[in-house]
A = this chain, B = another copy of it.
């Protein structure tokens, strides 16, 4: 039996921690009928104003087809609006509706609450270290996989 201890792996800890984080976030958002990803869409729109789907997908680091259905649901629920771009008929501009404004206020509350829970007992310095280390791992994995060696 080949041994590989999942418990010792960075991947294991990334997986379970992120899963917990998303679950906590989504649980906290249930009363407002919204999800983690949907809240992130509203977050970017609040920061940047109208964005095309490609721009939004880029900022959220997800693929465009993934975003399409998230936006479909949000449009169905009246949280966002798709508007044809006046200068490029391929593009659609995504904007937050008036209905989403009060929801966004609640999201910020939830986000701060979850963050406080998540970082309980960690110093500011430790939190900064965590972000730095995660950033490094992220960057490492962004690079192309090592060139295909003619292995075997």
Extra pairs beyond A10-B21, A14-B134, A119-B137 (5, CB < 8 Å): A6-B40, A15-B22, A16-B138, A17-B138, A117-B145
Question: A49: nearest residue on chain B (CB-CB)?
Answer: B1
Residue of B14, B131, B138 touching A10 (CB-CB under 8 A): B131
1/0 per position for A28-59, CB-CB distance to B under 8 A?
10000000000010011011000000000000
A contacts with B, residue count (CB < 8 A)? 64
Q: For A18, list chain B residues within 8 Å (CB).
A: 14-15, 17-18
Q: For A113, list chain B residues within 8 Å (CB).
A: 146
Of the listed stretches A68-76, A80-88, A121-129, name the one at the interface; the rest are far from the partner chain: A121-129
